[in-house]
Chains A and B, each alone.
Chain A
Amino acid sequence: MTLLALVFFVLMLLGLPIAFAIGMAGFSFFVTNELMPVSIGVQQVATASQSFPLLAVPFFVLAGHMMNRTGITHRLIACSSVLVSWMAGGLAQVSIVLSTLMGGVSGSAVADAAMEARILGPGLIARGYSKGFTSAVIAISSLITATIPPSLGLILYGFVGNVSIGRLFLAGVVPGLLMMAVLMATVWAIARRRGYGAESAERPTLRAVGRAVADAKWALLFPVALLFAIRGGVFTPSEVGAFAVVYAGVVGFLLHRELSWAGMMEALGEAVVDTGMIMLIILFSGMVGYAIVFEQAPQSIAAAMAGLTREPLLVVAMILVFLFLAGLFVESTVLVLLLTPIFLPIVTPLGVDPVHFGILMMTIVTFGSMTPPVGVAMYTVCSLLDCPVEDYVVEALPFVAAVLALIVVLTLWPGLVLFLPNALM
């Protein structure tokens, strides 16, 4: 196990793509273990692909790429702009609301951050928002997509931890909306002090709101339709991804009439590459997962932690701090795949709800991609907007504080996360 961890970290820090670092680390375990034939390692790679919930990965990736070509994005921008541009810091508020609405369509924080940096970023900077503030708002608000359904991270968590994906989806709704509210309040406070004004002097009329919402209805209905399809029992949570693709096709071809065959083929091509990228990590981590179980890593870590404390809240807090630190250095998908099988068996016997833990874990792990030193969303936004990372870090601090405060609240009151899934499923 020590060798496995060492191989993984050394190869990763030397710049080898993470999928291969995981594969070679797992392979090193089977090569050096005398009891374990290497062919079992290869078998684990094949076995890792044979899990039905995993099919949700290509489906939601494909649905996201199709949605981008159906004209949903510009409708959602128009909708968010009507809703909140009258507030202090109007355009920054639009960016936060847009992340929330896009979260119901795309499910990838980095994709959302990149899209907003391209489309909204230059507008914010032109209106006098500082580059650091603009980048911080866009990058950190993309965290909202991590919990609003459909979330790719939650699907993976549900797959590895054997937790109901339907319940996870429902549980993500309230934390996502709270995150939106907290970030909007932060923007409001900063904007008031700095004089970042509103875009329009008056509040929108009910009629204007109605028109914007009606125009974006197919996008806004998408997460609702997904939840209904699962709740109504038409599709299982694993199948609902196929429904998402068909929905995106119907909206794109028939309702908005903006998706073309060429666009469809491009979406398929991009989805295949993204799927290959994510799946190679998952397939190779099959070997590592086997090693973790074989070496009884969860048991020994649990025993070590039990020596310190048995208080569930403290254990969860310790794990969350560890995940936060790990998230600073390692990509979120990888952390979910490798650490869920270690930590979930530790917290479940203590009475922590796996759905509650999943939302906390996903939020904090995704948060790592908005912070230095290796934040993917941060680098994407900063490079697109040509913003020095130092400026980003300073301007991001109030938002980081707001997000961490919200995570503490969600940890202390599981009811906030769990009442929706408990009421509906």
Chain B
Amino acid sequence: MLSAFVKAEALVAGVLLAVIVVLVFAAGVMRWFGYPLVWSVDLAQLLFVWVSFLGADLALRRHAHIGIDYLVKRLPPRARTLLDVALALLLLAFLLAMTVLGYRLTMLNLERRFGDSGISYAFVTSAVPVGCLLLALTLSGQLVRALRSLRRAPQPVFVAARGGEGAP
């Protein structure tokens, strides 16, 4: 179930990125031939914010977001995991706050049009709450795994578990 969701997420993000490339390339070529496509760049930008958040979530699953572990890697494993758990709880609160606030903002933006395209600006704004919710869900999973690991071999939240690739 979860792996199907992750696969779908990766597929959607990849396809959207490919579509963005085609839209922007076509805009350049068509303008060269004297038929400018005004909407294609607007649409590309609108899709881009979605690719960004889906990609950010996929990156979080792979523990790919860069951080500085110069200091904390000197901590004993248990202390480091406890520190990571505390940070993750704080981050979870931030992401959920962004989700709620972003939802409210989206509702306010329903009427606002995006560029000349006639698409609601809410399509852009709604990427923020949806993206933050996805990040919060992924983070919760990693948080639970770190808490479980405390009983045996403590594993940090924000770095891939030692021994092989971080499980998605």
The residues of A with any CB-CB pair to B shorter than 8 Å are 11-21, 23-24, 27, 38-39, 41-43, 45-46, 49-50, 52, 54-55, 58-59, 62, 234-236, 239, 241-243, 245-246, 265, 268-269, 271-277, 279-280, 283, 329, 331, 373-374, 376
Interface size on B, residues (CB 8 A): 58
Q: Among the listed B68, B105, B156, which residue makes an inter-chain contact with A18, where contact means beta carbons less than 8 Å apart?
A: B68
Q: B45, A52: Cβ atoms under 8 Å?
A: yes
Q: How many A-B residue pairs have CB under 8 A?
A: 179
- Starting from the known contacts A17-B158, A242-B28, 16 additional A-B residue pairs (CB-CB under 8 Å) come to A19-B56, A21-B67, A46-B49, A46-B105, A49-B52, A49-B127, A59-B21, A243-B25, A243-B28, A268-B14, A268-B18, A275-B52, A275-B55, A276-B53, A279-B56, A283-B52
List of A residues within 8 angstroms of B52 by Cβ: 49, 275-276, 279-280, 283
Proximity bits, B124-147, A CB within 8 Å = 1, else 0: 110110000000000000000000
Instruction: Kindly state the separation between the CA atoms of A374 and B56 in the bound complex, as whole angstroms.
Output: 23
Listed A/B pairs (6) with beta-carbon separation below 8 Å:
A45-B128, A46-B124, A49-B52, A268-B18, A272-B14, A273-B62
Closest to A276 in B: B55
Query: B50-88 interface mask toward A, CB cutoff 8 Å, 1 = contact, 0 = none?
Result: 011111111100101111111110000000100110010
Neighbour of A55 across the interface among B24, B55, B84, CB < 8 A: B24
Residues of A within 8 A of B55 (CB): 272-277, 279
Bound form: Cα–Cα A252–B156 in Å: 40
A8 CB to nearest chain B CB (Å): 12
Known contacts A24-B94, A49-B124, A277-B66; is-contact A242 B56 (Cβ 8 Å): no
A41: which B residues are within 8 A, CB to CB?
Answer: 101
Q: Which residues of A contact B4 (CB under 8 A)?
A: none
User: A42 to B49, alpha carbons, bound, how many Å?
Assistant: 14
Which 4 A-B pairs rank lowest in CB-CB distance, beginning with the nearest?
Answer: A276-B55, A17-B65, A279-B52, A276-B56
Q: In whole angstroms, how far apart are the Cα atoms of A56 and B13 in the complex?
A: 17
- Residue-wise interface mask of B (152-167) relative to A, using a CB-CB cutoff of 8 A (1 in contact, 0 not): 0000101100000000
A272: shortest Cβ distance to chain B, in Å? Answer: 4
The answer on a CB contact under 8 Å between B20 and A43 is: no
Tell me, in angstroms, the Cα distance from A21 to B10 when the chains sit together: 25
B97 at the interface (CB under 8 A from A): yes
Decide: B25 and A239 in contact? CB cutoff 8 A: yes
Residue of B nearest to A110 (CB): B66
The minimal Cβ–Cβ distance linking B44 to chain A, given in whole angstroms, is: 6
A-contacting residues of B (Cβ < 8 Å)? 10, 13-14, 17-18, 20-22, 24-25, 27-28, 32, 41, 44-45, 48-49, 51-59, 62, 64-72, 80, 83-84, 87, 90-91, 94, 97-98, 101-102, 104-105, 108, 124-125, 127-128, 156, 158-159
Partner of A13, one of B48, B71, B80, B102: B71
- Inter-subunit contact A42/B45 (CB<8 Å): no
Chain B residues in 8 Å Cβ range of A374 = 68, 70
Cβ-defined contact, A42 with B102, below 8 A: yes
Say whether A242 contacts B21, CB under 8 Å. yes
Contact B128 A42 (CB under 8 A): yes
With a CB–CB cut-off of 8 A, which chain B residues contact A62? 17, 21
A277 with B68: CB separation less than 8 A: no
Q: From A239, which residue of chain B is reached at the shortest CB distance?
A: B28
How near does chain B come to A130, taking the closest CB pair, in angstroms? 25
Are B44 and A55 closer than 8 Å at their CB atoms? yes
Q: Is there contact, CB below 8 Å, between B25 and A242?
A: yes
Which residue of A has the minimal Cβ distance to B99?
A42
Distance in Å from the Cβ of A155 to the closest Cβ of chain B?
Answer: 14
B87 touches A15 (CB 8 A): yes
Smallest distance from the beta carbon of A291 to chain B beta carbons, Å?
16
Query: For residue A42, which residues in chain B have a CB less than 8 angstroms away from its CB?
Result: 98, 101-102, 105, 125, 128
* A337 CB to nearest B CB, Å: 14
The residue in A21, A49, A234, A271 that gathers the most chain B C-beta atoms within 10 A of its C-beta is A49
Given the complex, which residues of B lie within 8 Å of A235, measured CB to CB? 28
CA distance A283 to B131 in the complex (A): 11
A17 touches B45 (CB 8 A): no
Instruction: Give Cα distance in the complex from A14 to B105, angstroms.
Output: 32
Known: A234-B28, A269-B14, A275-B55. A245 touches B21 (CB 8 A): yes
Q: Which residue of B lies closest to A283 (CB)?
A: B52
In the complex, A274 Cα to B28 Cα: how many Å? 25
Q: Which B residues are CB-close (under 8 A) to A265? A: 14
Q: Which of B17, B53, B66 contacts A17 (CB 8 A)?
A: B66
Taken together as a complex, chains A and B put the C-alpha atoms of A84 and B84 apart, in Å, by 49
A residues near B68, Cβ cutoff 8 Å: 12-13, 15, 18, 329, 374
* A18 neighbours in B (Cβ, 8 Å): 65-68
Q: Are A15 and B17 in contact (CB under 8 A)?
A: no
Q: Which of B67, B104, B125 contacts A15 (CB 8 A)?
A: B67
Chain A residues, Cβ within 8 Å of B57: 276
- Given the complex, which residues of B lie within 8 Å of A17, measured CB to CB? 65-67, 158
Contact of B158 among A15, A59, A276 (CB under 8 A): A15
Chain A residues contacting B108 (CB-CB under 8 Å) are 39
Check if A27 sits within 8 Å of B67, measured CB to CB. no
Contact A273 B45 (CB under 8 A): no
